[in-house]
Amino acid sequence: MQFPGNFKPPVGIIFDSDMGNRIDTVLAMALLYGLDGKNEARVVSISVSKANLKSAALSEVIGRFYAGAVNGGFAAIGRNLPVGMAEDGPAKGDTPLFSVLDKKDEKGAAVYQHGIHSLVDTAEVPALFRNAMTSQQDGNAIVLLCGPATNLANSIGLPNVKDLIKSKVRYLVISGGAFPGIDPAAAKKLLAEWPGQIVFAPAELGAALPYPGASIDKDFTWATAPHPVVDAYRAYKAMPYDAPSWDMTAVLYAIRPKENYFKLSEPGTLSVSSDGKARFTPSPNGLHKQLIADPAQREKVIQAFVELASAKPVVRQFRFRNQKKAADPAKPADVKPKP
Amino acid sequence: MVVRNWVLDYEGKLGELSRIMKPLEPYKDEITVLANLTHNNGRALLDGAGDHGRCCGSYLTGVQPKKSAVDIHCGISTDQIVANKIGSQTRFPSLEVGMEDARQAGDCDSGYSCAYTNNLAWRDERQPLPPILDPRALFERLFGKGASLSPEARARQSKFRKSILDFVTEDTKKLQGDLGPTDRRKLDEYMSSIREIERQLEKAESDNAHINPGMPKPYGVPADFSEHFKLMTDMLTVALQSDMTRVFTFLVTREGTSRSYREIGIPDGHHPLTHHRNEPALMEKVTQINTYHVKQFAAWIEKLKSTQEGDGSLLDNSMIVYGAGLCDGNKHNHEDLPTIIAGRGGNLIKPGYRRVYRRETPMTNLHLTMMDRMGVHVDNFGDSTGRVTGLDLA
């Protein structure tokens, strides 16, 4: 793949989730692509820790819905990477969200296309995770964990990966929605070995900032064709309902840390307690921090959730290939030969 | 490669082959087709244009070459790791062979040195091993300049060369006492080189005496691709058969080649054609070139298969990777690289199947696996994440 010249792209997002288990993960991807559409971030890697092809397929459907709108040239830069999937793991069963994949049009054809039909259509996660980092400029990647730590714990063991994390990744943001969740051993390993800063979005934060279910009927009306996020929301459980925003809080902070949507704790250490829950202990030399709800920002946060998650996919032209070169001041201006 | 005419749409036992692979139809039980192997270090990452330089430089090394026309930096190639381990058992630790004349210096692709586009084998990160391109030069390297002489004349020639080495060795030993540490180290390196030449000559004496090249000395480089390919592979076959070497690399065409194929009615340059922009007429020409290459490879497989070795054939005891550094020449992508292994690796590989790996599986996983089969065990190589599966007999 050709990479068109040197420029400072928006921060690259490596997104790992247990897609399919909770609706907030679907909304988080919509939010992520909303920010991507505003050029505040680029999704450079998508992987799932739920060892179910439908989990990878639903991620691909959502990714295609948004990133498929960009043109071929832009898609060539990091958008043709496959969806990674854990080969094995607990909680791999089907969920109501996967019914989105079965949706048919009036002719009986699948409404949402994807290319994941067997394990070989997915990527092995450690290679995908490492490869995504190798194409980011130093300090220009963020890792978002919106599920169990299974994949990241497996990936940090690869040779040189910790060095790559140190040089490429600003921070890891962990959503408390499913962490430590079903894989506390992986969570312990990740927290012990991750060589950089971690910001934790605890479960109570997302619980206190629910995504308004009414938005699904109101803010997506621009979609004249089926919308996978709308269909997923309706498939998750009977409408109307508001959804905890666990993974959305992690995404929003990760990409807009300076907007003061949340308060940030003093440094500390995140650990997994004996009962399998996340515990944050303040310590001056800790590399971890925790997000804290700011009641004054509640409306602002929910407004950002709604606006970004319901944003239209942005059709972007490939702006680099035809960009005019800046004039070289050391070079004399072209002089036309005399006739 | 025109991918749609290369790729198979099934996994498992080889059935009908694709148009480009069709010449391999009679040898389906002798080959393994691999899919989804990737060279991430061939990708741009942060280095901009230059896929040809990167894909060739990374192909056997698994590292991303440094983007420079003068300050070359790559990595040791997998063949050289094996050669370092087992090469002392044969006259040539490895052979590097090619078919296309190309310069070794300067910029050959968007700032990448020609050293990257024109060499497959690397002794270390700074030292590429240029391939022998001329059949005559390969003949003389394998069988000596006097290969057409009688065994007695060859022995005399070799004895004379050895006596010169004895003289040089004696002379340099006298110097050793008068030198400082730096010069003594240089002299040691020099003496090591002499000893290596002596070792090769001794092996040559024992080997050459009974090796019949089975062909006249070639006159030079044939213009015809198939004739050139046949000459080179005939000599590689003899080299393997007579255990002159167990490791070789063969750069059939170089990256960015402008070679034309008039013998099959294609006067256009190969590389320009691969940027076909999905125009059917251009894609057809590229497909014909791809198929023509495979046809030559199939003819070599036939030769290896018909060459008896022990209870089986030379092919049974070989592992020959046929592949390309880019998948789709029009897209310049580095994933799902076209890859075939011919042979059974001494009954360590079960051929006759298409093995599809998960996407992003590093090509270096295959390198590690093949090194294992050669008895060379390395924990990691390049960007490897493990070994590939499915090649085993079980």
- By C-alpha distance, the chain B residue nearest A3 is B48
For residue A290, name the pLDDT band (cuts at 50, 70, 90). Answer: very high
Q: In 3-state terms, what secondary structure has residue A101? A: helix
Give B104 or A177, the one with higher predicted confidence: A177
Nearest CA distance, B15 vs chain A (angstrom): 20
Which residues in chain A have Cβ-Cβ distances shorter than 8 Å to B278? none
- By C-alpha distance, the chain B residue nearest A45 is B360
Which ranges of B121-150 would DSSP assign to H, the alpha helix?
A: 135-143
How far is the C-alpha of A307 from the C-alpha of A301, rounded, in Å? 10
First to last CA, chain A: 44
> Is residue A99 assigned to a domain?
yes
Mean pLDDT over residues A76-88, rounded?
74
> Is residue A278 assigned to a domain?
yes
| Subunit contact A134:B358, Cβ cutoff 8 A | no
ipTM over 0.90: no
Mean pLDDT over residues A30-56, rounded?
96
State the average pLDDT for chain A.
89
Percent of chain A with pLDDT over 70: 87
| Subunit contact A1:B357, Cβ cutoff 8 A | no
Amino acid (1-letter code) at residue B305: K
User: To probe the interface with A, which of B38, B337, B357, B358 has the most A CB atoms within 10 Å?
Assistant: B358
Nearest CA distance, B333 vs chain A (angstrom): 5
Q: Which helix (H) or strand (E) holds A268?
A: strand A268-272
Query: What's the pLDDT score for residue B209?
Result: 55
Could you list the residue range(s) of the whole structural domain that residue A73 is in? 11-309
For residue A336, name the pLDDT band (cuts at 50, 70, 90). Answer: very low
Mean pLDDT over residues B206-235, rounded?
83
Could you tell me the strand order of the sheet in which B31-38 lies? B12-13, B353-362, B31-38, B339-342, B320-323
| Subunit contact B49:A126, Cβ cutoff 8 A | no
> Is residue A333 assigned to a domain?
no
Range in A181-195, B86-100, B209-223 with the lowest mean pLDDT? B209-223
| Subunit contact B360:A128, Cβ cutoff 8 A | yes
CB B105 within 8 A of CB B113: yes
First to last CA, chain B: 32
> Is residue A334 assigned to a domain?
no
pLDDT of A71 above 80: no
How far is the C-alpha of B131 from the C-alpha of B251, rounded, in Å? 7
pLDDT of B168 above 70: no
List the single residue in A5, A120, A126 with the smallest CB-CB distance to B385: A126
Percent of chain B with pLDDT over 90: 74
DSSP string computed for B256-315 = T----BGGGTB-S-HHHHH--TT-HHHHHHHHHHHHHHHHHHHHHHHHHHHSEETTEETT
pLDDT of B293 above 50: yes
For residue B298, name the pLDDT band (cuts at 50, 70, 90). Answer: very high
Give A110 or B215, the one with higher predicted confidence: A110
pLDDT of B212 above 80: no
Nearest CA distance, B46 vs chain A (angstrom): 6
Which residues in chain A have Cβ-Cβ distances shorter than 8 Å to B357? 120
Nearest to A264 by CA among A241, A242, A280, A243: A280
- By C-alpha distance, the chain A residue nearest B386 is A158
Query: What's the pLDDT score for residue A334?
Result: 41
| Subunit contact A121:B359, Cβ cutoff 8 A | yes
CATH number at residue A96: 3.90.245.10
How far is the C-alpha of B89 from the C-alpha of B201, rounded, in Å? 14
> Is residue A325 assigned to a domain?
no
CB A85 within 8 A of CB A47: yes
Nearest CA distance, B128 vs chain A (angstrom): 25
Which residues in chain A have Cβ-Cβ distances shorter than 8 Å to B35? 120
For the four alpha carbons of B324, B328, B330 and B331, in that order, the dihedral sign comes to: negative
CB A4 within 8 A of CB A320: yes
For residue B163, name the pLDDT band (cuts at 50, 70, 90). Answer: low
For residue B195, name the pLDDT band (cuts at 50, 70, 90). Answer: low
Range in A6-15, A169-178, A185-194 with the lowest mean pLDDT? A6-15
> Is residue A315 assigned to a domain?
no
> Is residue A188 assigned to a domain?
yes
Number of domains in chain A: 1
| Subunit contact B46:A121, Cβ cutoff 8 A | no
Residue with tokens 């692709």: B109
Query: How many CB atoms are located within 10 Å of the residue B302 CB?
Result: 14
State the average pLDDT for chain B.
89
The CA–CA distances, whole Å, from A24 to A179, A213, B36, B315, B366 equal 14, 12, 33, 57, 40
Query: What's the pLDDT score for residue B192?
Result: 63
Nearest to A59 by CA among A26, A87, A91, A90: A26
Q: Which helix (H) or strand (E) holds B372?
A: helix B363-373
What share of residues in chain A are helix, strand, coil (percent, to 5)? 35, 15, 45
Range in A69-78, A256-265, B206-215, B347-356 with the lowest mean pLDDT? A69-78
For residue A330, name the pLDDT band (cuts at 50, 70, 90). Answer: very low
Query: What's the pLDDT score for residue B220?
Result: 81
User: To probe the interface with B, which of A14, A46, A120, A163 has the most B CB atoms within 10 Å?
Assistant: A120
pLDDT of A73 above 60: no
Nearest CA distance, B99 vs chain A (angstrom): 27
- By C-alpha distance, the chain A residue nearest B47 is A3
Which residues in chain B have Cβ-Cβ distances shorter than 8 Å to A3? 43-49
For residue A314, name the pLDDT band (cuts at 50, 70, 90). Answer: confident
Q: How many helices (H) and strands (E) does chain A have?
A: 12, 10
Mean pLDDT over residues B52-57, rounded?
95
Give A332 or B50, the one with higher predicted confidence: B50
How far is the C-alpha of B394 from the C-alpha of A75, rounded, in Å? 41
| Subunit contact A4:B362, Cβ cutoff 8 A | no
Residue with tokens 């909770």: A22
| Subunit contact B45:A81, Cβ cutoff 8 A | no
List the single residue in A3, A82, A131 with the smallest CB-CB distance to B40: A131
Mean pLDDT over residues B215-233, rounded?
90
pLDDT of B240 above 90: yes
> Is residue A319 assigned to a domain?
no
For residue B204, name the pLDDT band (cuts at 50, 70, 90). Answer: low
Strands A263-264 and A198-201, sheet pairing: unpaired
pLDDT of A321 above 50: no
For residue B149, name the pLDDT band (cuts at 50, 70, 90). Answer: low
- The angle subtended at Cα A75 by Cα B285 and Cα A326, nearest 5°, is 95
Which residues in chain B have Cβ-Cβ distances shorter than 8 Å to A134? 40-41, 43, 45
pLDDT tens digits along A229-246: 999 999 999 999 999 999
